[in-house]
Amino acid sequence: MSDYKNFLSENLRKLRLACGYTQDDVATVLGLSRPAYTYYETGKTCPDLEAITKLAKMFGVTLDQLIIQEEQPLVEHTCDRVRRRPSTDPQTIGELTNEEKQLIAWLRSVKK
């Protein structure tokens, strides 16, 4: 695997985990199946420019930070998302954090 593909695949995995996303979460945003996204993380395939742009926005990094090793972001500070169990109580479902509201707004804008 080339250095570029190796860095990109490892970086995608690190950023996804740092943000607390599952492969399904990322695949949904990209409009892919989970196995198709998994190929990005294993280096079997590379995302196209549209997918790379969406990934950079989702992970809160620049395109350079996503694809160029010398521009590697500080993974710990990339995402502020906190993993927690979704509420099943209909009375509390509307209690979203600002980050969750921003993610929903971003997801809605991407699907248009």
pTM over 0.85: no
pLDDT digits (tens, 9 = 90+) for 17-71: 888 889 999 999 999 999 999 999 999 999 999 999 999 988 888 888 888 887 6
The more confident residue out of 72 and 89 is 72
Give residue 83's pLDDT: 43
Sequence-ordered alpha helix ranges (H) in 1-112: 3-19, 23-30, 34-42, 49-59, 63-67, 98-110
